[in-house]
Amino acid sequence: MQTVNNLNIMRYLTFEISRTCDMSHIHDMCPVSHPERYKFGDTSNSLTDEIIINFWKWCRFNKAFRGIVMWSYYNEPTLVIDRIYGLMDVIKACDPDQPFRLLTNKPPTPEMKERFDLIKFTNYAKDPPMDERRKTVSGEGKPYSQVQRAGWCGRGFGWEVLIDNHGNWNLCCNDWRCEESVGNIFKDDWVRLLQKFESKARALRWDDEESYLRLPRLCRACMDFTPALHRSGGI
């Protein structure tokens, strides 16, 4: 396997700062309250400030990460906004040019607008409901005869390094059960995790039936249930 040199093409480094959401009780399509959340992951630890800072430093200074730090996944980050501000202060002290993005269900406050470079506010009172990603826990996807004959997933390498609240490095945002997780940043060697992630993510393409069937089960189910999420396209 070719050695991974850097993360300079990666768009986002995402941390799930907590595992709670104040709207979980009204969103039955959101994975945050699904009984199988983190099913295949390691849940023995939760993200600490120390490991967030150290992992960001490794990505930024050891692996040339130049993208955006994002507070997201299936939690509501503003429930711990003071903690996030503290982490951002430490990161900014190391790299004043590091940008940040927030995904939230709260209307942005003036301080949020000042502190974050990008904010995505999801207004659940007006925006359409979430897609069917909870259904991807089962199914093998459509037969090859019923899918696009060649394609690739833009959620692969180059899009996002996603670390969930327990430190599992997941394949993408739909990998909320950690089914395709490459490992855990608390326990595994980070270089090896990056190598595994690159190898797995770069394999998310197909050009015939054999390569389609080699895709992870999760990816084929994603194409079936959440066609807008997997971002497939021509080779």
User: pLDDT (tens digit, 9 = 90+) per residue, 169-200?
Assistant: 999 999 999 999 999 999 999 999 999 999 99
Whole-structure pTM value: 0.93
Return the DSSP state at 205: E
Please determine, for residue 234, whether its predicted confidence score (pLDDT) is greater than 80. no
**Range 12-131+160-205: architecture per CATH:** Alpha-Beta Barrel (3.20)
pLDDT tens-digit profile of 122-159?
887 677 667 888 999 999 999 999 998 898 887 778 89
Please determine, for residue 4, whether its predicted confidence score (pLDDT) is greater than 90. no
Residue with tokens 């089914």: 179
CA–CA gap between residue 188 and residue 197 (Å, rounded): 13
CA–CA gap between residue 134 and residue 93 (Å, rounded): 39
CA–CA gap between residue 198 and residue 200 (Å, rounded): 6
CA–CA gap between residue 64 and residue 11 (Å, rounded): 12
CA–CA gap between residue 25 and residue 23 (Å, rounded): 5
User: Which position has the higher pLDDT, 56 or 232?
Assistant: 56
CA–CA gap between residue 149 and residue 191 (Å, rounded): 34
pLDDT tens-digit profile of 17-65?
999 999 888 777 889 989 999 999 999 999 999 999 999 999 999 999 9
Report the chain's mean pLDDT, rounded to a whole number.
Answer: 92
pLDDT of residue 161: 97
| 3-state SS class at 92 | helix
pLDDT of residue 80: 98
How far, in Å, are 13, 51, 99, 202 from residue 96 at the CA level? Answer: 16, 20, 8, 32
CA–CA gap between residue 78 and residue 192 (Å, rounded): 32
Residue with tokens 């800072």: 53
pLDDT tens-digit profile of 195-229?
999 999 889 999 999 999 999 999 999 999 987 77
Share of the chain above pLDDT 70, in %: 94
Token pair of 222, please?
Answer: 């994603």
